[in-house]
Amino acid sequence: MSLTNLELLHYLSELLKTSKIKDYCPNGLQVEGKTNIQKIVTGVTASQALIDAAIEYQADAILVHHGYFWKGEDPCLRGMKKRRLAALLAHDINLFAFHLPLDVHTEFGNNVQLAKRLSIDVGQGVDANDPFSVALRGRFKTPITHQQLVDRLRTELKTTVLSEGDPERIITTVAWCTGGGQGYIDAAADLGIDAFISGEVSEQTIHTAREMNIDFFAAGHHATERYGAKALGEHLAEKFELDVTFVDIPNPA
Ligand SMILES: [Zn+2]
């Protein structure tokens, strides 16, 4: 089966509720390519390496979490940005990008998909009043020590982990935000949660962890955000009988 780029855009926009979520990049069809879509490459970031892979697969579309045109960036099409766009346009490849809508979705979102891999039962948002809270809280199905969580993150996400806290501490309650979500540790600490997991770390994150008695784990921006685009692609493959391939371009950050 195939569908048109605008049909796919409409479907994804509805599914991910893009009009309801404030973001600092456009969500949806960022670069228009050919009309009919049968073959899709999914990935975390629309880097040159991912575009090259899509060209090799002869993909009609790329679907990513990190696209282009971020608020505040230089809008000129030069250098790296020119080369990426030139490659997409030369091969008539559509670029679909969904940022925050793909973090917070209750089934395909990066946050929920990460919880699945770590055996966490998902509860409410860290901001309970926000239905699209980008940080979530929950409980481990079975309480786990700090060191066991480090090991689980390493094994499940195939990543390196930076952590702060007592290796022997038993962790039951947890909050998390994939990617650059370390700033939410303060809200999680205020809720008295045992541990906070994110992709990135800042200098100040460690002080909050130490002084607010909340264990902290940074497992990589890329590694924690690998699973949303992958899950969404698998859903599209099944629903529309499309040929979808997830391409992981390794990134240690
Ligand atoms: Zn991200």
Mark whether 121 and 81 lie in a shared domain.
no
Chain segment 173-203, per-residue pLDDT in tens: 999 999 999 999 999 999 999 999 999 999 9
Chain segment 42-60, per-residue pLDDT in tens: 999 999 999 999 999 999 9
Nearest partner of 97 among 193, 13, 176, judged by Cα: 13
- pLDDT value at residue 181: 96
In a domain, 253, yes or no: no
Centre of ligand 1 to C-alpha 49, Å, is: 17
Mark whether 108 and 215 lie in a shared domain.
yes
Q: Is the pLDDT of residue 32 over 90?
A: yes
Please give the tally of structural domains in the chain: 2
- Give me the chain's average pLDDT, please: 97
| CATH label of the domain that carries residue 20 | 3.40.1390.30
Q: Is the pLDDT of residue 252 over 90?
A: yes
Centre of ligand 1 to C-alpha 67, Å, is: 10
Structure tokens at 242: 């499309």
* CA distances to 27, 67, 179 from 24, in Å: 9, 11, 15
Nearest partner of 98 among 182, 27, 168, judged by Cα: 27
Mark whether 113 and 214 lie in a shared domain.
yes
Centre of ligand 1 to C-alpha 91, Å, is: 26
Mark whether 186 and 158 lie in a shared domain.
yes
pLDDT band at 251 (very low <50, low <70, confident <90, very high): very high
pLDDT band at 67 (very low <50, low <70, confident <90, very high): very high
Mark whether 9 and 34 lie in a shared domain.
yes
Q: Is the pLDDT of residue 131 over 90?
A: no
Mark whether 110 and 212 lie in a shared domain.
yes
Question: Exposed, middle or buried: residue 123 (CB in 10 Å: 0-12, 13-18, 19+)?
Answer: middle
Q: What average pLDDT does range 138-162 have in this prediction?
A: 97
Centre of ligand 1 to C-alpha 100, Å, is: 8
Mark whether 193 and 110 lie in a shared domain.
yes
Mark whether 211 and 119 lie in a shared domain.
yes
pLDDT band at 1 (very low <50, low <70, confident <90, very high): confident
Range of the domain at 170: 104-222
Mark whether 96 and 111 lie in a shared domain.
no
Mark whether 70 and 148 lie in a shared domain.
no
